[in-house]
Homo-oligomer: A and B are copies of this chain.
Amino acid sequence: MTDRAGSGRATASRAAPQGAVVLLSGGLDSSTMLAMARAAGHACTCLSFDYGQRHRIELEAAARVARALGAEEHRIVRLDPTAIGPSALTGGGIALGAGWSTAVPKARSLAAIGQGIPSTYVPARNTIFLAFALGLAEVLAARRIYIGVTAVDYSGYPDCRPEYIAAFQRLAALATKAGVEGSPVTIETPLIHLTKAEIIRAGHALGLAYALTHSCYDPTPGGDHCGACDACLLRRKGFAEANVADPTRYGA
């Protein structure tokens, strides 16, 4: 599914823009990252995944953000939902029992977030996302893949750590025709050492309208943020610490 973003195409005529594939969930982090990549002058192809996530509304947010920030294109790849999960984010997927929960944790203490791997962990998710991004980057001859992982204020996912990214970087150089021919893609992680507050301040300075973005794992039927899942707690805390007005509607 492809949506050629209509606005902000002025940069398309700029001399030799450098192509980048941007993994865009529509959340606060990846949207800020897209703003950074655009500010750096890159022609961005945004890549989102429909993997049966509960919070599929984030895909609408991703489309809004891609359009607002003048991405070249926004692609949504549908992943076979029977091949993903189980996880609290998908509520199902591969059927299996012990050790896996499909309940979204609510109202945890901030101290508890980042301790251990939460039930919203989706097995191999970033590896699957990066693999598709790698194939797309190769075909588009894009030299950069942006992924919005952060090692600070993070949620305990193993595939968000710097050492994981470094390992994927090595893999990408060996995996592809471009790598063999001496021009491997680089994995860009501009958020990796930023706190949520720093991310928000950076995006705010770039003029990103955070009301376009969506973070909540378990939104209300009306699409508001629940205010109680880990993603909402970290979002709320981030705006408070950044001293930036939080435009988010937190429904009960």
Contacts and interface: CB of A to CB of B under 8 A. Distances in A.
Nearest to A177: B117
Task: State the main secondary structure of chain A at its contact with B.
Answer: helix
A247 to B, nearest CB: 33
Interface string A156-177: 0011010110011011001111
Contacts of A18: none
A39 B26 CA distance: 47
A140 interface: yes
- Size bracket, chain A contacts: 35 or more
Interface string A126-140: 111011101110111
13 contacts: A2-B82, A77-B80, A77-B83, A83-B132, A83-B136, A122-B135, A123-B177, A124-B134, A128-B128, A128-B132, A159-B175, A167-B171, A168-B171
Interface of A: 1-2, 75, 77-80, 82-86, 93-94, 96, 100, 117, 121-128, 130-132, 134-136, 138-140, 158-159, 161, 163-164, 167-168, 170-171, 174-177, 179-180
